[in-house]
């Protein structure tokens, strides 16, 4: 008479719920990458702006022939001094000319209203102009009543909002990538646990003894 033994089946290990922590790890890594990306790129964008103190006449170097936007940075810090004034240039006379040729550059009202707040500095667009050639230019702004203050700062940028849009798009890519990675990890852990638990339950229902 044949003697039957007990059948053992090696089943996949059931992942611990602790593996769901990988989802939060992936999210945290995504946040760190996003913060680093924003810090590096916003710092670079801020450094690309030409800053001039007014009222004064200042020589500035424009690297390319292009359209530029002039912002009134009404709140910020300059040479270690904090300042805050009312935004706008209605009480100022501003002009610009080429230092090489003396050709005047037309300063006009901007085509749109733009503003920024970067690292404690706030600015609003007040003027725009077109530089026909790269070179040194004299930019001057003085109060109409001849007063020497209040002190404030203007910034001049080229391609500012194109770079800002690129930063925003890059940030969205990082956020989307982080969400996808976290979701995939969650689904992977969930499915591994679900299949292992279902298989073990099936063997118990059939009266078999699963091996660990």
User: Beta strand pairing status for 209-211 and 152-157?
Assistant: unpaired
Lowest average pLDDT, out of 85-89, 91-95, 117-121, goes to 117-121
In the predicted structure, residue 88 carries a pLDDT above the cut 50: yes
Beta bridge partners of 74: none
Q: In whole angstroms, what is the distance from residue 170 CA to residue 165 CA?
A: 8
Average pLDDT over residues 59-87: 91
pLDDT computed for residue 1 by the predictor: 46
Lowest average pLDDT, out of 29-43, 149-163, 198-212, goes to 198-212
pLDDT computed for residue 212 by the predictor: 53
Average pLDDT over residues 34-45: 88
Average pLDDT over residues 5-32: 79
CATH code assigned to 49-158: 2.60.120
pLDDT computed for residue 94 by the predictor: 94
Write down the mean pLDDT value for the chain. Answer: 86
For 152-181, the pLDDT digits (tens) are: 999 998 877 788 888 999 999 999 999 999
- Higher model confidence: residue 163 or residue 83? 83
Model confidence band, residue 80 (pLDDT cutoffs 50, 70, 90): confident
Beta-strand runs (E) in the chain: 8-10, 50-54, 56-62, 67-78, 81-84, 92-98, 115-118, 121-130, 135-143, 152-157, 209-211
The conformational region for residue 119 under phi > 0 = left, psi -120 to 50 = alpha, else beta, is left
Residue 45 tokens, joined: 């964008």
Helix (H, G, I), strand (E, B) or coil at 155: strand
Domain ranges of the chain: 15-48+160-204, 49-158
């Amino acid at each position: 008479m044949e003697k039957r033994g007990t059948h053992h089946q090696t089943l996949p290990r059931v992942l611990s719920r602790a593996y769901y922590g990988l989802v939060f790890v992936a999210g945290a890594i995504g946040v760190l990458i996003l913060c680093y990306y924003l810090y590096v790129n916003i710092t670079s964008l801020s450094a690309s702006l030409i800053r001039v103190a007014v009222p004064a006449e200042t020589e500035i170097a424009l690297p390319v022939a292009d359209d530029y936007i002039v912002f009134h940075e009404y709140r910020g810090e300059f040479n270690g001094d904090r300042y805050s004034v009312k935004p706008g240039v209605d009480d100022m006379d501003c002009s610009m000319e080429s230092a090489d040729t003396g050709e005047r550059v037309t300063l006009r009202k901007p085509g749109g209203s733009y503003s920024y707040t970067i690292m404690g500095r706030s600015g609003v667009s007040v003027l725009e102009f077109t530089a026909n050639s790269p070179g040194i230019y004299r930019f001057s702004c003085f109060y109409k009543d001849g007063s020497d203050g209040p002190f404030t700062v203007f910034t001049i940028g080229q391609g500012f909002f194109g770079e800002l849009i690129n930063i925003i798009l890059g940030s969205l890519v990082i956020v989307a990538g982080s969400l996808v990675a976290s979701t995939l990890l969650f689904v992977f852990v969930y499915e591994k646990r679900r299949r292992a638990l279902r298989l073990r339950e099936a063997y118990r229902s059939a009266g078999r003894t699963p091996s660990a």
